[in-house]
A and B are shown apart, each in its own frame.
Chain A
Amino acid sequence: MRMRKFFRNNVFRDIFKKLLGKDKKLKIGFYGHPNSGKTTLANRMTNDWIGKPIGLVSEVPHETRRVYKQEHVTIANDGVELDFDIIDTPGIATKIDYKNFLEFGLSEAEAKKRAKEATKGIIEAIKWLDDVTGVLLVIDATKDPLTQANITIMGNLEARKIPFVVVANKIDLPEASAQRIFSVFPQHTVVPISALHGENMEDLYKAMVQRFN
């Protein structure tokens, strides 16, 4: 057992050395649909490792309307540390209808303002694709993962050769199906988690250390 741990630690240490050997700074972008849990996950990670949240979380879609950045977040995994910047982006969508915000109790003026800001946030998120070195694609496991926005993000990441991990979030909910995400994206690394409850975070950190090498 001790020997196995020794070898595993060495593997992680080697990977970490390779990461450190690169001149570029790791910038991990959080991408996905509005309300898929990107900010909850970013908060979970920054809370875990630097003790403070990165952004506001809300039930209303498009709460994150500008890119939030947290520098020098360190993940420690089996004696291996990974230092990176977190880039929490607004959710990418192909449409924004201000009427959807009215359901959450916003006034018409507030809803229109939020819709306008959301369009700018999406443009900003797309621009950041040129600047991230790794991506966590956060997918709400209670919903259909095969959406055009997810396909577009993955296509762009592959075309730009940016490594990514698919995060099947919200597995604490009874209607969640991580299996559906595994089956539609068999060629990608998929890690089921609950960002809200911190479930399976260690598996995610391991996948990040491996994929972002």
Chain B
Amino acid sequence: MEDVKTNALKMDFLSSDAIKASTSMEKISMIVRKVKEGDLVVIEGGLTPEEEAELIETTMREIDVENFVGIDIHTLEKDEKSFFGLSKRRTIGITIIGPANVMQAVKKKSNFLSMIANLGDSGASLH
């Protein structure tokens, strides 16, 4: 992956199986490292609320006013029927996490998520 062009956007898709063996700390470190390098991380499923808070905290520690301004997180949810099929609840289908200066605009509706990646202003943080 070293030869990726400087104006390209790298997206990593991680299945829930790929991260289920990781501890919360490992997951967060991996996400922040990739996002700081300018990558977009797409995870099947979501983070727990505690992991999200930890991710925000770690991001704040890593913010460097010149090169890394933080992250954007977006989730696409889906309805899931309960065991007996009597009630529905919303669960997270996928989570997208990327550098805030790259994830330019998002339209979010029920069952639909649209994102524009802005590569023009991404500076040194992109590959």
Q: Give chain A's interface residues, CB within 8 Å of chain B.
A: 92-98, 112, 115-116, 119-120, 122-123, 126, 129, 146, 148-149, 151-152, 154-156, 158-159
A55 vs B75: C-alpha distance when bound (angstroms): 35
Closest 9 CB pairs of A and B: A95-B70, A155-B49, A95-B100, A119-B60, A97-B69, A152-B52, A156-B49, A148-B73, A159-B49
Query: Are B108 and A123 interface neighbours, CB within 8 A?
Result: no
Q: Tally chain B residues at the interface, Cβ within 8 Å.
A: 22
Chain B neighbourhood of A112, CB < 8 A: 65
Contact A119–B52 (Cβ < 8 Å): no
Q: Is B117 an interface residue (CB 8 A)?
A: no
* Shortest distance from the beta carbon of A104 to any chain B beta carbon, whole Å: 16
Are the C-beta atoms of B72 and A159 separated by less than 8 Å? no
A-B Cβ contacts below 8 A, count:
71
Chain B interface, DSSP helix/strand/loop, else mixed: mixed
CB proximity of A196 to chain B, nearest CB, Å: 28
Q: How far is the CA of A115 from the CA of B55 in the complex (A)?
A: 18
Q: A112-B65, A122-B60 are in contact. Are A156 and B101 (CB under 8 A)?
A: no
Within 8 Å by CB of A123, from B57, B72, B73, lies B57
Contact across chains for A94 and B49 when beta carbons are under 8 A apart? no
Chain B stretch 72-121: residues in CB contact (< 8 A) with chain A: 72-75, 100-101, 108
Task: Known contacts A119-B63, A123-B61, A159-B48; decide if A95 and B53 are in contact (CB<8 Å).
Answer: no
B2 contacts partner chain A, Cβ-Cβ < 8 Å: no
Are B56 and A152 within 8 A (Cβ)?
yes
Cβ–Cβ contact B56 & A97, under 8 A: no
A126 touches B49 (CB 8 A): no
Say yes or no: A96-B69 contact (C-beta < 8 A), given A156-B50, A159-B48, A159-B50.
yes
CB contacts under 8 Å to A, within B35-74, are: 48-50, 52-53, 56-57, 59-61, 63, 65, 69-74
